[in-house]
Structure formats: C-alpha cells, structure tokens
C-alpha cells in the first residue's frame, strides 16, 4: 500500500513540477510527504479540531527550500484529504499555508494550488475513512 501512495504522489508531483528532480530525489520527497502526512493524521486524531491543524500549518510554514515547500503543502493535502476534512474547510487551511510559504511569487503560488488540489482529491478518493 505504501508503494502505491508513493507512486501516486510522485505522479502528481511530476504532473505539476516536471523539473523537480531525478527519480531517487522524487521518491525521497514522496516518502517524506507520506510520512509527514501520516504523522499529522495521528496528531489530528489525538487532538481533533482546528487548533491542531493550525499548529501543524505554522510548523509547515517554516519550510525554506522549494522542495521543502512542496513536501509541506503535499503533506497537508494528504492529511486533510485522508481525514475527509470538508473541501471548503480544507481550502481555508490550504490558503493559510500557501500564504505563509508563497506570498512573494504568484506564479509559483498558482502552480502549488493546483498540485495541492490534486493531492487532496487523490487522498480523499483513496481514504479508508
């Protein structure tokens, strides 16, 4: 199952950011997204409510490099989609994280929104919940 998620995440990243890196770095990033997303799901399960999600967003919002930003947004999208958080609520959380990460580059922000939406839809569709 993990390998299927990793492959799905890699496919989404390649679709929206084809120059993201070689297969090994892409696999590493996909595994980091999955691990971070699952960690957030566990945290949210232990402490349900928007406060836990906002704490995670604040932490994810400290990403510095482009790949760290991709991992941050994809992790949040994976966690919220898997937990079946309503789309309109999720959008507010996504906007908060995107604002923290991409306030200076509108083109990059638009690309990240599209990639995040695809990850959310994939996670929601494949969620065991």
- 116 exposed, middle or buried (CB, 10 Å; 0-12, 13-18, 19+)? buried
d(CA 31, CA 108): 23
pLDDT in tens, the chain (129 residues): 889 989 999 999 888 887 878 889 999 999 999 999 899 888 888 887 778 888 888 889 889 888 888 889 999 998 989 888 888 888 888 888 888 887 767 777 778 788 888 888 888 888 887
Calculate helix-pair angle for 66-82, 2-16, nearest 10 degrees.
130
Domain count for the chain: 1
* Closest C-alpha among 38, 112, 105 to residue 78: 38
d(CA 98, CA 55): 15
Domain of residue 36, residue span? 2-126
């Amino acid at each position: 199952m993990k390998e299927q998620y990793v492959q799905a995440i890699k496919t989404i990243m390649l679709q929206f950011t084809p120059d993201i890196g070689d297969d090994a770095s892409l696999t590493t990033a996909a595994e980091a997204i999955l691990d971070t997303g699952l960690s957030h799901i566990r945290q949210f399960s232990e402490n349900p409510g928007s406060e836990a999600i906002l704490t995670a967003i604040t932490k994810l919002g400290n990403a510095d490099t482009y790949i760290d930003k991709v991992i941050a947004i994809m992790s949040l999208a994976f966690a919220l989609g898997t937990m079946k958080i309503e789309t309109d609520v999720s959008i507010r959380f996504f906007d908060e994280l995107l604002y923290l990460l991409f306030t200076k580059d509108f083109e990059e922000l638009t690309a990240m929104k599209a990639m995040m939406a695809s990850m959310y839809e994939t996670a929601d569709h494949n969620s065991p919940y």
